[in-house]
Amino acid sequence: MSSFAERLAVVFEKNGFMLSAEQKEKFEIYRNFLLYWNEKVNLTAISSDEGIIIKHFLDSAFAAKYVPLSKRQKLADIGSGAGFPSVPLKIMYPGLDITLVDSLNKRIVFLQSLLDTLGLKGKALHIRAEDAAQSPLYREKFDLVSARAVARMNILCEYCLPFVMPGGLFIALKGFEIEAELEEARSAVKTLGGQFEALEKFQLSESEKRSIILIKKISQTSSKYPRQSGKILKNPLL
């Protein structure tokens, strides 16, 4: 086993995740592929092994502590970027049916190549989230929707909740200090047919703290939402 795989296994086991030899190998291939593509496509500012293991792979894996992923579920990852959290979760839970959505074609080419290289089934869609969410192919078709994004929660919810089927969950991976954002987003969540389910806070390392917000979809989202991106950003739901 390589030094990277050994370190990955130690960090994951310390946090309650046991990985098979095949999973460790896939994570190492992912790391190599990410670093190779990062030279030509801006995917991440994090390039150290320690950073990739903790800030990307472990951060993604923590969603599994709060959402049961063992059964077959459809997951859409909105603004997927370099594939976090969906691809690490797919490595750990192969039964997940993942759809990766990103508006930048270069990232979609990377994501599809990554899935092919890892031997994982999944779709990578080059489309704006607000357009995909208005399509009958994707609107309210997913059990789970994830986003690991810098947008404020009220904005993120308008992009993501329209993808979630009633009874499903929106999983937002955010920074540690999130309470003000949650309060700001309370009305937007209700307008979009959602309900706050849980706020989970956790520590990735001595210096890295994160939050996961779970929002349950309790009713259909009005066809008015999502609006076009310019309107969402200029006049966010409050």
Q: Which of 155, 147, 164 is nearest to 237 (CA)?
A: 155
Encode pLDDT of 46-100 as tens digits: 999 999 999 999 999 999 999 989 778 999 999 999 999 999 999 999 999 999 9
Query: What is residue 172's predicted lDDT score, i.e. its pLDDT?
Result: 97
Look up the pTM and report it: 0.95
Q: What is the mean pLDDT of the chain?
A: 95
Query: What is residue 238's predicted lDDT score, i.e. its pLDDT?
Result: 87
Amino acid present at 112: Q
Encode pLDDT of 111-156 as tens digits: 999 999 999 999 999 999 999 999 999 999 999 999 998 789 999 9
Cα–Cα distance, 168 to 5 (Å, whole number): 34
Cα–Cα distance, 129 to 159 (Å, whole number): 6
Query: What is residue 206's predicted lDDT score, i.e. its pLDDT?
Result: 85
Q: How many folded domains does the chain comprise?
A: 1
Q: What whole-number percentage of the chain has pLDDT above 90? A: 93
Domain with 199 in it: 3-234
pLDDT at residue 1 is higher than 80: no
CATH value at residue 169:
3.40.50.150
Cα–Cα distance, 138 to 140 (Å, whole number): 6
Q: Are 93 and 85 in contact (CB under 8 A)?
A: no
Query: What is residue 2's predicted lDDT score, i.e. its pLDDT?
Result: 83
Amino acid present at 150: V
Amino acid present at 168: G
Encode pLDDT of 194-213 as tens digits: 999 999 999 998 889 999 99
